[in-house]
Structure 1
Amino acid sequence: MYAQLKTIAVSFLETFSKGLYMNFGKALNLAAGLLILVAFLLLACGGEKFPLPQQPEEGGGSTIVSDTTYIQLRPVWDAAAGYSLNQPQDILIGREPLIYVADTGNDRILMLDLAGNILGQSQTVDNPVALTQDSKLNLLIVTDSNKIHRINLTAVQHQIAAAPVELVFEEVDNPDRRYTAIAALLTSTQGRGTISYFVTATGGDKNDNQVLIFPEGFQVRVPDAINLEANGLGILSASSPSGITALRDFSGDFIFCMIGQNSFKVQWLTPGEFGYAARLNPAAGNFDLFAIDKFAQPEDIALDSEGNIYVIDAELNYLFKFSAAGEEQQSFGRAGAGEKQFQNPRGVAFFDQTLYVADTGNNRIVRFKLSTDISQ
């Protein structure tokens, strides 16, 4: 390249010299053309040292996988690892954040940190099946009866072993009704956040099958019920509801599941002008969430930070994952006690890219890290 430049430079000088003896204008035009050619070759030569900037890859070069791979974490929280669990049916990741397990067969609530260290256990709570937190980080517990209890952690600086267990509600007018799940609902009223509670209920009478709403202080004799058809078979109905979760976006939306004879055992409802309506409706699209016979015995539901829906099915021993649009994604499970196996699982929770499953029949808690956590 430099030899070419030398030849062009010599030619330029010769041409310019001739301009002294020939028409000066023509010589000047020729010289200008040669200068342009020299400039072009200089750019081409310098391209090896000063490359043009490249177009950046979309997403900063990171690849985000649309589906999920689950990595089972060790150790499993079971008897071999020092956890004496007996038929645990629910798991809650509190806002502290701490982990609470409804250790049903041992009539207690177990408190752990995120590393799995046991911090303490509650006083006796007969047959706890589900739990949530109130606005003060106390625990609210349903016990497969018509009662709701509170473990008053704020009274004892969060020392669960010393915390009193208090009865906060009993549906005295309906002693046969059984509460099966509870979820805290955050809403916004006049610019202020308020909290109330959804409770799923079943019982001997078909009208016992409802999703109930309680105010924060539980100062009611008879709770209000969502506008659902009791023991119905379609959308906006409740047939032996078993689990519930509420969105934390102040929308008032909730998702619940049921184990009765209903074609749509998982439903996402949203408040509207005339009561609750279906957020996802099978009439509006071919949603995997509403496929016939998709579920057998769905017991609990969790949401992740992207709005994906996780459903644990006790009869199928299966963990389902759906997008917020109701499309099924990577799901897994089968009966057993090995890796990615369950036996009658009843609870599921999500926190920090980790799923926690209450594997009830195997007396353990299993954890799965989601591989889509690109910060690993």
Structure 2
Amino acid sequence: MKNFLFISIALIFLTGCEGFFGSKTDLSFIDAPEFQNRDVAYVPIQPIIENFLEPNDVIAGFDELIYVVDEGTQEIISLDQAGRELGRYTLPGVTRIMQDRQMNILAIGNFDTIINDNPYTLSTIYRLKLNSGSFYGIQYARVINKIVHPFYFKSSFSSVDAEVQFTSVDIMGDNKFYATRTGPRDNANQIGGPDDGIVLFDEDDEYVSNVFVSTNVGFFRDYFKSPSCITTQAKPRQSPSVSASSNFFVAMLSAEVPIKVQSIQFNETEFGSSYNVQLLSFTDTAEANDFLYRPGRFSNPTDMWMTGDGTNYLFVIDSEKDSLYQFTTTGFEGANPPPGSSEKKNIIASFGGNGQGATQFNNPTAVAYLDRIVYVADKGNGRLLRFKLTTDFD
């Protein structure tokens, strides 16, 4: 095993929204849930949005709409913030999506082709344009480009290339984007880098480079092991203040990796640029009771979302633990104490557990955040759940 530097690194029902962007919920109707004695907690917003077959991904778009990938029907579904369906678009094998600041959807799906008289299904990132003339919406989407593995970095093909899968995609403020991928070959010196890795593309979908990582024990071309998802700081709403940072968090599923969610910083100096593992505290109990970098913290982190509103939170979904976790981007678990609170540490607001209750999940696979609302794709229960922190109500 390689020597990586992995630093020993409530039940309340709320009235549904009204209007296109939703109305504020009156907290006077809220009673403290009997099963937990805490003032800072996520409470479910009703109604639960159901009638999905296998909701595998959810994002909040820069157009301030919510998009759900239903893997069971191979559709991308758009909703307004009140939960009303606006349209659908079918894309073969679609699993994950993200919207860039041009309002295009980047969607991971499949592309069927014939190579040397043999049929193959290849992992592909599709670019969908959502406007058609004066009309806008997912129902008007059309494919304007596609990135087919492996032809973005080479012209040759081997049958094992068909085993490589893109697993997630996320953008930066200038519309460049990262894509994570997994595959069977871990040869750090092969063309295009090892199959497990992160790839950087420019805003025109042109391959730029693979992401290689420097640590204080060396330089690694094969640092990322079974990366499942990536999240950057560039998140809605659309504004000049959208982060231009190239930093990101990545989640990895490999049993080799004790710290499964890690912060990667992009550094640029007069001597060149590099990606480096950020060292986050996992022992400062004066700040928090638990930490992102605690070894063994996660079992199967399938999705993450960094907030884009200055709150600097990171949400992590663990599908095996059926749980949603909240951290600061400095690695402390929990939400900041509310004004006037005697509590000095971050207050843990993570929750979950297997079931069908309003704060339970069954194989949750994705999380998103917009306007202080957290969205969770509860795949095993075929539904989209929404939550709001008690301290976030006006």
| Alignment TM-score > 0.5, same fold | yes
Task: Please say if residues 168 and 228 of structure 2, whose CA atoms lie closer than 8 Å, have aligned partners that are also in contact.
Answer: yes
3-state DSSP class of the match of 2:97? Answer: strand
Q: Whole-Å Cα distance in 2 between the matches of residues 166 and 106 of structure 1? A: 22
| 1:225 is aligned to 2:225 | no
Please, which runs of 5 or more residues in structure 1 have no aligned partner?
Answer: 1-65, 80-84, 187-193
| 1:180 is aligned to 2:146 | no
The partner residue of 1:201 within 147, 168, 181 is 181
| 1:132 is aligned to 2:83 | no
Q: 1:107 maps to which residue?
A: 74
- The 5-angstrom pairing of residues 153-172 of structure 1 reads 153-156=130-133, 157-171=135-149, 172=151
Question: Shift of the alpha carbon at 1:316?
Answer: 0.5
Q: Whole-Å Cα distance in 2 between the matches of residues 352 and 280 of structure 1? A: 29
The partner residue of 1:260 within 250, 254, 260 is 254
| 1:242 is aligned to 2:222 | no
Q: 2:12 maps to which residue?
A: none
Deviations 1:166-206 (A, max 9, x none): 442112353331000010111xxxxxxx2201111001112
Indicate how the Cα distance of structure 1 residues 374 and 159 shifts in structure 2: closer, same or farther if over 3 A, else same. Answer: closer
Q: 2:376 maps to which residue?
A: 357
The structure with more helix, counted as a fraction of residues: 1
* Percent identity over paired residues: 31
The structure whose Rg is larger is 1
Q: Whole-Å Cα distance in 2 between the matches of residues 165 and 336 of structure 1? A: 38
Task: Please say if residues 280 and 326 of structure 1, whose CA atoms lie closer than 8 Å, have aligned partners that are also in contact.
Answer: no
Aligned residues: 292
Q: 2:323 maps to which residue?
A: 318
Residue identity matched to 1:137: M
| 1:278 is aligned to 2:277 | yes
Q: CA RMSD in A?
A: 2.5
3-state DSSP class of the match of 1:372? Answer: helix
Deviations 1:107-158 (A, max 9, x none): 1100111111111101x21221111113320111012753111221123521
3-state DSSP class of the match of 2:292? Answer: helix
Task: Please say if residues 372 and 392 of structure 2, whose CA atoms lie closer than 8 Å, have aligned partners that are also in contact.
Answer: yes
Indicate how the Cα distance of structure 1 residues 288 and 143 shifts in structure 2: closer, same or farther if over 3 A, else same. Answer: same
Indicate how the Cα distance of structure 1 residues 159 and 290 shifts in structure 2: closer, same or farther if over 3 A, else same. Answer: closer
3-state DSSP class of the match of 1:175? Answer: helix
Q: Whole-Å Cα distance in 1 between the matches of residues 226 and 87 of structure 2? A: 33
Q: Whole-Å Cα distance in 2 between the matches of residues 285 and 331 of structure 1? A: 19
Question: Shift of the alpha carbon at 1:67?
Answer: 7.9
Q: 1:292 maps to which residue?
A: 295
Indicate how the Cα distance of structure 1 residues 284 and 185 shifts in structure 2: closer, same or farther if over 3 A, else same. Answer: farther
The structure with more strand, counted as a fraction of residues: 2
Q: 2:50 maps to which residue?
A: 78
Higher-RCO chain (CA-CA 8 Å, sequence separation at least 6): 2
Task: Please say if residues 152 and 164 of structure 1, whose CA atoms lie closer than 8 Å, have aligned partners that are also in contact.
Answer: yes
Task: Please say if residues 280 and 325 of structure 1, whose CA atoms lie closer than 8 Å, have aligned partners that are also in contact.
Answer: no
Q: Whole-Å Cα distance in 2 between the matches of residues 299 and 143 of structure 1? A: 17
Q: 1:46 maps to which residue?
A: none
Q: Whole-Å Cα distance in 2 between the matches of residues 100 and 270 of structure 1? A: 28
Indicate how the Cα distance of structure 1 residues 327 and 159 shifts in structure 2: closer, same or farther if over 3 A, else same. Answer: closer
Residue identity matched to 1:339: A
TM-score (norm 1): 0.72
Residue identity matched to 1:139: I
Q: 1:369 maps to which residue?
A: 388
Task: Please say if residues 170 and 231 of structure 2, whose CA atoms lie closer than 8 Å, have aligned partners that are also in contact.
Answer: yes
Indicate how the Cα distance of structure 1 residues 98 and 296 shifts in structure 2: closer, same or farther if over 3 A, else same. Answer: same
Deviations 1:13-49 (A, max 9, x none): xxxxxxxxxxxxxxxxxxxxxxxxxxxxxxxxxxxxx
Q: Whole-Å Cα distance in 2 between the matches of residues 339 and 162 of structure 1? A: 33
Residue identity matched to 2:291: D
Q: Whole-Å Cα distance in 2 between the matches of residues 219 and 325 of structure 1? A: 32
Task: Please say if residues 375 and 384 of structure 2, whose CA atoms lie closer than 8 Å, have aligned partners that are also in contact.
Answer: yes
Question: Shift of the alpha carbon at 1:224?
Answer: 1.3
| 273-282 vs 294-303, which moves further | 273-282
Deviations 1:280-310 (A, max 9, x none): 3469968711112110000111123311111
Please, which runs of 5 or more residues in structure 2 have no aligned partner?
Answer: 1-37, 111-121, 155-160, 187-193, 235-242, 335-348
Deviations 1:240-298 (A, max 9, x none): 11111111321211111111121111011111144111233469968711112110000
Task: Please say if residues 342 and 362 of structure 1, whose CA atoms lie closer than 8 Å, have aligned partners that are also in contact.
Answer: yes
TM-score (norm 2): 0.69
